[in-house]
Amino acid sequence: MASSFSCSERTKLTWMLALLLILVMMLRVDGQSGFLSVDCGWTGSAGSTYNDSATGLPYDSDGKFMEGGLSSKISAEFIADAGNEQQKTLRSFPDGKRNCYTLPSAIGKKFLLRAMFSYGNYDGLNRSMDGSPFIFGLHIGVNFWETVNLTNLDPSLTLWKEVLTMAPANLLSFCLINLGSGTPFVSSLELRPLGDAMYPFLSTYVSVSYLRRFRFGDAAEYITRYPVDNYDRFWAGWSFSFNTYPWISLNTSKPVNRLNSIDVFQVPEVILQKATTLDTNYSFMEVSVEVGSNLDIRGMELLPIFHFTEIAGDIPNRTFNVYSADELLFQDVSLSPMRVESMYPTNRFLTNRFLSGSNTTSFMLRKVPGSKLPPLINALEVYSIVRTDNLTTSSEDVNYMKEVKKHYNLGRNWNGDPCSPREYTWEGLTCDYSNGNQNPRIVRVNMSTSKLRGVLAISFFMMASLENLDLSHNNLTGTIPNYELKSLKVLNLSYNQLDGPIPNSIVQRFQAGLLDLRLEGNPICSKGKYMYCSNTKNSKHVMLTAVIVPVVLVSLLVVLGVLWKVCQKGNSGDHEDYDIYEEETPLHIDIRRFTYVELKFITKDFQSIIGKGGFGTVYHGILENGDEVAVKVLMETSIAESTDFLPEVQTLSKVHHKNLVTLAGYCQNKKCLALVYDFMPRGNLQQILRGGDDYTLNWEQRLYIALDAAQGLEYLHESCTPSVVHRDVKTPNILLDKNLVGIISDFGLSRAFNDAHTHISTVAAGTLGYLDPEYHATFQLTVKTDVYSFGIVLLEIITGQPPVLVNPQTIHLPNWIRQKIATGSIHDVVDKRLLDQYDASSLQSVVDLAMMCVENATIDRPTMIEVVSRLKACLPEVPRLLQPTISGVPPISSEGDFQFDYTGRMSNTSLLSGR
Ligand SMILES: *[C@@H]1O[C@H](CO)[C@@H](O)[C@H](O)[C@H]1NC(C)=O
Ligand SMILES: *[C@@H]1O[C@H](CO)[C@@H](O)[C@H](O)[C@H]1NC(C)=O
Ligand SMILES: *[C@@H]1O[C@H](CO)[C@@H](O)[C@H](O)[C@H]1NC(C)=O
Ligand SMILES: *[C@@H]1O[C@H](CO)[C@@H](O)[C@H](O)[C@H]1NC(C)=O
Ligand SMILES: *[C@@H]1O[C@H](CO)[C@@H](O)[C@H](O)[C@H]1NC(C)=O
Ligand SMILES: *[C@@H]1O[C@H](CO)[C@@H](O)[C@H](O)[C@H]1NC(C)=O
Ligand SMILES: *[C@@H]1O[C@H](CO)[C@@H](O)[C@H](O)[C@H]1NC(C)=O
């Protein structure tokens, strides 16, 4: 039965994205804690800092965050006018294509990184005004971020770039790239941790680069930043560009009502207490955002975030639409008094096709007919999307290479990530990128003739994927360390000062033909006539020809080698663990088979429990390559004894769908029975639905997760032959990946399912509250059993309630909903944490669909195919309108507002001085 099991490959394996480790750190950030401010090129005495006169924030010198570069002061004529200390010095990088700063961070944590550039003619070359291009690039980690274009820019001006990003590791690197059009430099770096729930669209794959950030109404200063903004964002005052009729400034001192679960932008209260609106004779306002002549935003994907708070009175009569070029972004926006409302287009970014030039984009707020008051706005942020999907080198390899660098005190331009991006690979390294889902690995190191001295660094031998190491023509001394080689196939140590003895493990690998070893030109070779001391290219070859060992003998050696290896392993005392290898396994399973010892190792002795279920306990583990996995150790009493286990694994290994969890391996022998899955960093749907107020899914996210789960089930039901019935569909079995995509788990333990969709089973399946009443009565198991449970899941998604409510009395969720709807309205069932932020018409359809799924009679329930298509229909499709006809205020072009970008001066006077 199981061997004929197959699933059609509709969705193929293409979806298999790399599952990077994201541990969402639960650090709380308030005020300035965690701020890192670096004044590049500043040469205060070692370890000293100074406090910035305007913000009081301490600035560090940059010595400990990078290597190389030259520190300089801006030219004397600009020093006196510098707005702050950081503008006075800078660090330039005349050497190397890429130079990186490495800043401390925390993996998975979100940060704002701001870099400032004040040229100030530091090199006396008048470089920005000499007519030729002056451009260099910036990388955030291993991904391209943006170019810095100082061409034709007044040398007294400061340019800044900001990126909001999620740290891919405990270090965040920022690199300057020489593009051949001028020496890169940087004046200051500011790293500000953001709250975990903030800017929810950030992920390891998506960062955003700042274009503009405005506050409206009358602001006291040109730039509002820390300490007004806890996260030290720069908010430019719009009123300094527009304070003329018909624009009208509003302000209030009443407190702004924030609801933690939706206020993911933490806009400072004083900013929300001010707004700009229009004279009531006008009907729309156009907010035109220019980014300056040195940045071309055509082709960029833009992300605007609008912040609104109704501050005009208690019973406002104000409703408006928000447009980007011809596109309606938000319809019928009407605000509650003193409550912050932040809006941005979800699930997509705007492409900037309707520009009024290469450097301008505009948004329009237009009142709807019947609204008394014209629109109002408090703050606006505009970002461009930065794709950060290039992977960093395996952290293990990075660490070993760093040790090597330190060990030999190498001054080479080994900077930033060793393998990524490809074109900046460290000199002498060859990397393997062939597994696109996984971090690149170092496979070859060539450090021949590199003036290395001292002993051979053990780090080389510890690199799990290193195959070829060339350290010839150096001055290495001492002996070869005795360390069991992992994957090394070529080891060239010729022409050094190495002495014996040669470790046995190496000799044996050489003799077995597994290692090409070269040692000629070392003192060790003067002591005997060893094979590896011959200077012929391939010593394995030499062994074959010169000694004329017949093929038979070589095979014998290989066999001996293997036996020796087996014996070595046997010594570990885990004989039982290896019994299994002698068994004939009649099944062909492509996935990895783990031993108990391996599982013990990857889970660090089964330390961290991430879940407990009916089938056993789930542990967190990390594979040798750094991939995170969930290891489900099955309980002996569950199906441990079952002969179904291997067929089950085979079933699982054949099921590939983007909404089904991927099996990475298994373990079966006397010592263990376990399944190894990809790890899902966001936990499960139950946790997130009932996890409290600090993080709430919005309506669309909920619908998308429901659709994900439905598609996973549809695949099991419809694309597998025979169909697979999950039998235990419930919110804890719907896992969430880092992008909040729903992934169904535990289906493998539900057994391939036979006989044309009907089957008599005496094994009770399912979980209380999710149980199909008909199955319960008849033990007739069909795919509709899953449909019923899915209906309950859908109701939980809508209501945030558990399947069985106990307060005030025990009631099953579908009945609770029937009661609520009968005595009130459908809106009473919706999860309160959605704060009425949902689309009423889709709510009705989703509730109807869920109630159909939980019909008592199987025949009345829809199939998963139907469920999927109905859910798709509920998902928002943003309506498009034609460009509104222009009336009211003529579109305003915003000359001058771009100067905020270039005049980094934080003080009033220097800005007015017109620099
Ligand atoms: C900077 O400010 C902090 C706190 O206000 C203070 O403790 C420290 O002494 C100041 N450092 C300098 C160099 O003035
Ligand atoms: C820099 O070049 C511009 C344009 O050639 C010139 O007007 C200006 O005087 C120069 N400044 C300095 C300091 O050489
Ligand atoms: C990712 O790496 C490739 C190859 O090195 C490079 O061409 C590409 O520009 C990189 N992508 C980003 C976003 O930096
Ligand atoms: C925007 O670009 C146009 C030409 O494309 C240029 O004339 C204008 O000055 C630029 N605006 C700003 C603010 O740099
Ligand atoms: C850099 O700025 C100059 C001057 O505004 C402009 O002509 C040029 O196109 C820009 N280059 C790039 C690559 O954006
Ligand atoms: C707003 O005012 C218009 C015109 O007076 C009225 O028809 C409409 O009902 C009002 N809307 C609200 C929400 O009060
Ligand atoms: C090794 O070191 C010795 C002296 O320390 C020096 O004479 C010799 O040139 C060095 N060899 C290489 C290959 O660098």
pLDDT at 41 over 90: yes
Q: pLDDT (tens digit, 9 = 90+) per residue, 150-197?
A: 999 999 999 999 999 999 888 899 999 999 999 999 999 999 999 988
Whether 601 and 695 map to the same domain: the answer is no
Whether 449 and 595 map to the same domain: the answer is no
Query: How many Å lie between the centroid of ligand 2 and the Cα of residue 41?
Result: 25
Question: CB count, 10 Å around CB of 439?
Answer: 24
Whether 796 and 869 map to the same domain: the answer is yes
Ligand approaching nearest to the C-alpha of 319: 6
126 lines ligand 2 (CB under 6 A): yes
Look at residue 763 in the predicted model and tell me its pLDDT. 43
Rounded to an integer, the average pLDDT of 288-308 is: 84
Whether 409 and 533 map to the same domain: the answer is yes
Query: How many whole angstroms separate alpha carbon 295 and alpha carbon 312?
Result: 37
Pocket probe mutation, ligand 7, options 451, 475, 497, max atoms within 8 Å of Cβ: 475
pLDDT at 759 over 60: no
Among protein residues, the one whose CA lies closest to atom 13 of ligand 7: 474
Whether 624 and 750 map to the same domain: the answer is no
pLDDT at 563 over 50: no
Rounded to an integer, the average pLDDT of 421-443 is: 91
Q: pLDDT (tens digit, 9 = 90+) per residue, 62-89?
A: 988 998 899 999 999 999 888 888 999 9
436: domain range?
Answer: 395-537
Instruction: Provide residues with CB under 6 Å of ligand 4.
Output: 290, 292-293, 357-359, 898
Rounded to an integer, the average pLDDT of 820-832 is: 86
**Do 135 and 151 touch, CB atoms closer than 8 A?**
yes
Query: How many Å lie between the centroid of ligand 7 and the Cα of residue 479?
Result: 17
- Residue percentage of the chain with pLDDT more than 90: 39
Rounded to an integer, the average pLDDT of 699-724 is: 88
149 lines ligand 5 (CB under 6 A): yes
Helix (H, G, I), strand (E, B) or coil at 557: helix
Look at residue 9 in the predicted model and tell me its pLDDT. 42
Whether 582 and 548 map to the same domain: the answer is no
293 lines ligand 5 (CB under 6 A): yes
Query: How many Å lie between the centroid of ligand 7 and the Cα of residue 473?
Result: 9
Residue 841 lies in a domain: yes
Whether 699 and 837 map to the same domain: the answer is yes
pLDDT top residue among 642 and 279:
279
Query: How many whole angstroms separate alpha carbon 433 and alpha carbon 746?
Result: 32
**Do 400 and 463 touch, CB atoms closer than 8 A?**
yes
Among protein residues, the one whose CA lies closest to atom 1 of ligand 1: 51
Report CA torsion sign: 586, 587, 588, 592: negative
pLDDT top residue among 897 and 307:
307
- Residue percentage of the chain with pLDDT more than 70: 78
Query: How many Å lie between the centroid of ligand 1 and the Cα of residue 65?
Result: 22
Which tokens hold the place of 111? 């940060």
Nearest alpha-carbon partner for 696 in 840, 834, 792: 834
128 lines ligand 5 (CB under 6 A): no
In the chain, the number of structural domains is: 4
Look at residue 81 in the predicted model and tell me its pLDDT. 83
129 lines ligand 2 (CB under 6 A): yes
Ligand approaching nearest to the C-alpha of 74: 2
Whether 727 and 802 map to the same domain: the answer is yes
Rounded to an integer, the average pLDDT of 815-840 is: 84
Look at residue 290 in the predicted model and tell me its pLDDT. 81
Specify the ligand 4 atom closest to the Cα of 290. 13
| pLDDT tier for residue 535 given thresholds of 50, 70 and 90 | low
Whether 754 and 859 map to the same domain: the answer is yes
- Compute the mean pLDDT over every residue in the chain, rounded to the nearest whole number: 79
Look at residue 7 in the predicted model and tell me its pLDDT. 58
Q: Is 486 annotated as a binding residue?
A: no
Residue 435 lies in a domain: yes
Query: How many Å lie between the centroid of ligand 7 and the Cα of residue 520?
Result: 16
pLDDT at 827 over 70: yes
pLDDT at 634 over 80: no
pLDDT at 28 over 70: no
Angle at 577 between CA 574 and CA 582, to 5 degrees: 120
**Do 182 and 135 touch, CB atoms closer than 8 A?**
yes
Residue 299 lies in a domain: no
Specify the ligand 7 atom closest to the Cα of 451. 14
Query: How many whole angstroms separate alpha carbon 703 and alpha carbon 683?
Result: 18
Here the CATH number for the domain that contains residue 445 is: 3.80.10.10
Specify the ligand 7 atom closest to the Cα of 497. 1
| pLDDT tier for residue 412 given thresholds of 50, 70 and 90 | confident
What are 237's strand-pairing partners? 215
Residue 703 lies in a domain: yes
Which tokens hold the place of 176? 């300057």
Whether 509 and 561 map to the same domain: the answer is no
| pLDDT tier for residue 914 given thresholds of 50, 70 and 90 | very low
Residue 761 lies in a domain: yes
Rounded to an integer, the average pLDDT of 433-452 is: 91
Rounded to an integer, the average pLDDT of 438-462 is: 93
Residue 81 falls in the annotated catalytic set: no
Residue 254 lies in a domain: no
Among protein residues, the one whose CA lies closest to atom 4 of ligand 1: 56
Helix (H, G, I), strand (E, B) or coil at 902: helix
Look at residue 133 in the predicted model and tell me its pLDDT. 95
Instruction: Provide residues with CB under 6 Å of ligand 1.
Output: 50-51, 58
Among protein residues, the one whose CA lies closest to atom 8 of ligand 6: 370
Pocket probe mutation, ligand 2, options 122, 129, 130, max atoms within 8 Å of Cβ: 129
Nearest alpha-carbon partner for 506 in 498, 493, 497, 515: 515
What are 470's strand-pairing partners? 446, 492
Instruction: Provide residues with CB under 6 Å of ligand 3.
Output: 143-144, 387, 390, 421-423
Query: How many Å lie between the centroid of ligand 7 and the Cα of residue 490?
Result: 24
Lowest-pLDDT range of 22-26, 114-118, 224-228, 420-424? 22-26
Q: pLDDT (tens digit, 9 = 90+) per residue, 597-630?
A: 888 888 888 888 887 766 678 888 888 777 888 8
| pLDDT tier for residue 47 given thresholds of 50, 70 and 90 | low
Nearest alpha-carbon partner for 788 in 734, 699, 845, 867: 867
Q: pLDDT (tens digit, 9 = 90+) per residue, 660-689?
A: 988 888 887 766 778 888 888 888 898 888
Query: How many Å lie between the centroid of ligand 5 and the Cα of residue 357?
Result: 14
Residue at 915: amino acid letter: R
pLDDT top residue among 520 and 909:
520
Helix (H, G, I), strand (E, B) or coil at 68: coil
339 lines ligand 7 (CB under 6 A): no
435-439 contacts, C-beta under 8 A, 24 or more apart: 436/18, 437/16, 437/17, 437/18, 438/18, 438/391, 438/394, 438/625, 438/627, 439/18, 439/391, 439/392, 439/393, 439/394, 439/395, 439/625, 439/626
Look at residue 694 in the predicted model and tell me its pLDDT. 59
Lowest-pLDDT range of 236-250, 257-271, 641-655, 827-841? 641-655
Question: CB count, 10 Å around CB of 108?
Answer: 21
Whether 758 and 635 map to the same domain: the answer is no
Residue 521 lies in a domain: yes
**Do 456 and 499 touch, CB atoms closer than 8 A?**
no
Among 52, 196, 728, 772, which one carries the catalytic annotation? 728
Look at residue 482 in the predicted model and tell me its pLDDT. 85
Here the CATH number for the domain that contains residue 852 is: 1.10.510.10
Among protein residues, the one whose CA lies closest to atom 6 of ligand 5: 294
Q: pLDDT (tens digit, 9 = 90+) per residue, 349-407?
A: 776 555 556 778 888 999 999 999 999 999 999 999 999 989 999 988 999 999 999 99
Query: How many whole angstroms separate alpha carbon 801 and alpha carbon 268?
Result: 33
pLDDT at 560 over 60: no
Query: How many whole angstroms separate alpha carbon 173 and alpha carbon 171?
Result: 6
Burial category of 144 from C-beta neighbours within 10 Å (exposed 0-12, middle 13-18, buried 19 and up) = middle
Specify the ligand 1 atom closest to the Cα of 49. 13
Last residue of a domain, one of 678, 708, 735: 678
Look at residue 616 in the predicted model and tell me its pLDDT. 73
Rounded to an integer, the average pLDDT of 751-766 is: 40
Specify the ligand 6 atom closest to the Cα of 371. 1
pLDDT top residue among 138 and 754:
138
Last residue of a domain, one of 568, 583, 607: 568
**Do 712 and 657 touch, CB atoms closer than 8 A?**
yes
Last residue of a domain, one of 678, 699, 730: 678
Nearest alpha-carbon partner for 288 in 325, 245, 329: 325
Nearest alpha-carbon partner for 420 in 170, 186, 627, 175: 175
Here the CATH number for the domain that contains residue 583 is: 3.30.200.20
Residues in the chain: 915
Residue 740 lies in a domain: yes
Specify the ligand 4 atom closest to the Cα of 292. 14
Whether 552 and 620 map to the same domain: the answer is no
pLDDT top residue among 38 and 19:
38
Question: Highest mean pLDDT: which of 354-363, 483-492, 539-548?
Answer: 483-492
Query: How many Å lie between the centroid of ligand 2 and the Cα of residue 126?
Result: 6
